[in-house]
């Protein structure tokens, strides 16, 4: 039997490609940029397996162009770029990379919270642009983390890791998610609130939910208005969970005090975008999981998923396990 054919849409770090080569005939997009759509459609035609990135759109059109495709494995935990329902309908398992990036991403979210609440961007701009004057008792004062209330929107793996960090900082933690989570309440001492209740009570709100139809623009103009004027908003999930225009307006009009963002909508954020120039908006370019070690672990986990599928086994980290017989 001929070895299965795998298309890798961008060179992954670590041993991922070697792991795949041991079991398949691997073709990797050679350029250091996202694979163009037409190229992806053409290459997918002969593929049994696809190893993809969050910059690839895996939709019904692509699946139609890939009649042999038996597995999709993404090097990311979020899979909002993939039409999972369309994959499921065709019996195609979709792999992702949870767990290995949880702590790294929680570190990023916490960093954003500190940076935004304590005005690191404004402070740094003053240093660089020569505005650092004499010590002044009320210069650049921000908001405390310790003794404050953190509201976590989406208490998944990353949300729980952020809650553990918050406990170390002496914060009280509220959470909201679709279903109440008594196990997490017991383990972490977090308290459940409705979304509206959480917005009203929290000094800082961290958005850590996945993006789907139910969370697109979850944080809209009304949600921002429901937050405290002194509040900080952190988004380390996906840009479209927050209405970008509403956020830019809220930050410039003092509806909320500050934001720390790892993700934006659109991405990349154009440098002339209103959010980019707001001094109270601390933005980093989608680097939540970007440490050397974590990116290697993600790349290898995605390879393990794809190999398992092509060898006829269950993907260990599968977003749609319903494709497998019970
Ligand atoms: C990165 O954003 C991921 O989903 O892994
Ligand atoms: C992602 O890993 C999450 O569940 O938060």
User: By the 8 A CB rule, do 192 and 185 touch?
Assistant: yes
Q: Do 70 and 114 sit in the same domain of this protein?
A: no
Domain harbouring 93, CATH code: 3.40.50.720
Say yes or no: 240 and 299 in one domain: no
Same domain, 90 and 67: yes
313 and 212 in a common domain: no
- The neighbouring-strand residues paired with 204 are 150, 232
pLDDT tens per residue, range 176-219: 999 999 999 999 999 999 999 999 999 999 999 999 999 999 99
The count of structural domains within the chain is 2
Q: Is 173 in the pocket of ligand 1 (CB under 6 A)?
A: no
Q: Which ligand is nearest to the CA of 211?
A: 1
Closest atom of ligand 2 to 102 CA is 2
Question: Please, which pLDDT band fits residue 77 given cuts at 50, 70 and 90?
Answer: very high
User: How many angstroms does the Cα of residue 2 sit away from the middle of ligand 2?
Assistant: 37
C-alpha–C-alpha distance, residues 186 and 191, integer Å:
9
Residues 91 and 107 grouped into a single domain: no
pLDDT of residue 326: 82
What DSSP character marks residue 2?
P
Task: Give percent above pLDDT 70 in the chain.
Answer: 100
| Residue 98, ligand 2, Cβ within 6 A | yes
Question: According to DSSP H, which parts of 156-278 are helical?
Answer: 157-168, 182-188, 195-201, 221-226, 244-253
Same domain for 272 and 312: no
Residues present in the chain in total: 326
For residue 41, the model assigns a pLDDT of 97
> Once rounded to an integer, what is the mean pLDDT over residues 52-61?
98
Same domain, 29 and 158: no
CA 89 / ligand 1 centre spacing (Å) = 24
Q: How far is the CA of 133 from the centre of ligand 2 (A)?
A: 43
Contacts of 140 (CB under 8 A, 6+ apart): 119, 122, 123, 126
The predicted pLDDT at position 19 comes to 97
1, pLDDT greater than 80? no
**Cα 280 to ligand 1 centre (Å):** 25
**Nearest residue CA, atom 1 of ligand 1?**
76
| Any atom of ligand 2 within 6 Å of the Cβ of 46 | no
Q: Which residues are marked as active site?
A: 238, 267, 286
**Does ligand 2 have an atom closer than 6 angstroms to the CB of 44?**
no
Section 10-18 average pLDDT: 97
Look at the block and give the residue holding tokens 């919270």: 113
How far is ligand 1, taken at its centre, from the CA of residue 287, in Å? 9
Please indicate, yes or no, whether residues 112 and 242 belong to a single structural domain of this protein.
Answer: yes
pLDDT at 61 exceeding the cut of 80: yes
The pLDDT > 90 percentage for the chain reads: 99
Are 26 and 17 in contact, with CB atoms under 8 Å apart? yes
Mean pLDDT of 85-113: 98
Q: Strand pairing partners for 259?
A: 233, 281
Nearest-atom number in ligand 2 for the CA of 99 is 2
C-alpha 323/C-alpha 21 separation (Å) is: 25
Same domain, residue pair 89 and 107: no
Domain that holds residue 156: 102-283
- The count of other CB atoms within 10 Å of the CB of residue 126 is 16
Average pLDDT over residues 295-317: 97
The residue among 266, 230, 223, 263 whose CA lies nearest residue 246 is 223
* Ligand nearest to the CA of residue 152, numbered in listed order: 2
pLDDT at 2: 85
Q: Is the pLDDT of residue 114 over 80?
A: yes
Three-class secondary structure of residue 56 per DSSP: coil
Q: Which ligand is the nearest neighbour of the Cα of 263?
A: 1
Closest approach atom of ligand 1 to CA 263: 2
Q: What is the mean pLDDT of the chain?
A: 97
């Amino acid at each position: 039997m001929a070895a299965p054919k795998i298309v890798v849409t961008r060179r992954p770090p670590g041993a991922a490609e070697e792991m795949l080569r041991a079991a398949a005939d691997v073709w990797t997009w050679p350029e250091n940029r996202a694979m163009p759509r037409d190229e992806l459609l053409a290459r997918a035609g002969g593929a049994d397996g696809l190893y993809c990135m969050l910059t690839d759109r895996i939709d019904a059109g692509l699946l139609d162009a890939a009649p042999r495709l038996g597995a999709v494995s993404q090097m990311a935990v979020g899979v909002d770029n993939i039409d999972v329902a369309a994959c499921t309908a065709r019996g195609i398992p979709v792999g992702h990379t949870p767990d290995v990036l949880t702590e790294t991403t929680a570190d990023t979210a916490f960093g954003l919270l500190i940076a935004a609440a304590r005005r690191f961007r404004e402070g740094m701009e003053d240093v660089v642009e020569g505005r650092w004057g004499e010590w002044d008792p009320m210069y650049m004062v921000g908001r405390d983390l310790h003794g404050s209330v953190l509201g976590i929107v989406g208490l998944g793996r990353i949300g729980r890791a952020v809650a553990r960090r918050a406990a170390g900082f002496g914060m009280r933690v509220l959470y909201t998610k679709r279903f109440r989570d008594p196990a997490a309440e017991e383990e972490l001492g977090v308290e459940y609130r409705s979304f509206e209740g959480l917005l009203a009570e929290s000094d800082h709100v961290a958005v850590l939910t996945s993006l789907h139809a139910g969370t697109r623009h979850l944080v809209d103009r009304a949600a921002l208005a429901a937050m405290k004027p002194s509040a900080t908003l952190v988004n380390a999930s996906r840009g479209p969970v927050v209405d970008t225009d509403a956020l830019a307006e809220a930050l410039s009009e003092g509806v909320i005090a500050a934001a720390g963002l790892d993700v934006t909508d659109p991405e990349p954020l154009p440098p002339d975008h209103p959010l980019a120039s707001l001094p109270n908006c601390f933005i980093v370019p989608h680097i939540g999981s970007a440490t050397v070690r974590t990116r290697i672990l993600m790349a290898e986990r995605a390879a393990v998923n794809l190999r398992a599928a092509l060898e006829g086994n269950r993907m260990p980290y599968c977003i749609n396990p319903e494709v497998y017989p019970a």
